[in-house]
Amino acid sequence: MTGRLIVLNGGSSSGKSGIVRCLQAVLNEPWLAFGVDSFVDALPAAMQASDAGIDFGPDGEVIVGPGFRQLAAAWMDGVVAMGRAGANIIVDDVFLGGPCSQRRWEDALGNLEVVWVGVRCSAAVAAGREIARGDRITGMAALQAEVVHEGVKYDVEVDTTHTESIDCARAIALHVD
């Protein structure tokens, strides 16, 4: 028996992490959660602020190099392998490459069942959350708010601008259960 995947895509500070926790609470079966932030945190220090790895511009721009892409592909394959082994998985990602990012997941997923979720949030609200978090480069949330959705196809979209994470999770769960 194979697992299923839910892939959430949204910009920085759009509310994906809160939705993931709520999804784990409302879905009928256990779901593991993996996020791109944890992947970035797992990179060796030498790949952070590096042309080969990942670097962050002063305006919030994210630049990834070939080493990052290679490890990201391995990470995706690992997440998918857990799904093939029977685990249900929620992925929290930021499609900086828009449809190319989605295509990389599609290639890794093969025939696994997936629900694609767009997590939207107005640039102004995301920017406010970014400041409140204090762990992001100012400008990242506003820069990513719309661009990560351009050309991406979803099964369901939610907007956290004025909707609580639990309500977004319940809307997503309707497409899963």
Q: For residue 148, give Cα distances in angstroms to 22, 28, 58, 85.
A: 22, 29, 19, 30
Q: pLDDT by residue (tens digit) across 123-176?
A: 999 999 999 987 788 899 999 999 999 999 999 999 999 999 999 999 999 999
pLDDT value at position 99? 97
The catalytic position among 37, 155, 159, 167 is 37
User: Is 93 among the residues known to form the active site?
Assistant: no
pTM of the model: 0.94
Q: pLDDT by residue (tens digit) across 27-86?
A: 999 999 999 999 999 999 999 878 899 998 888 899 999 999 999 999 999 999 999 999
Given a cut of 90, is residue 9 above it in pLDDT? yes
Report d(CA 174, CA 85) in Å as an integer: 24
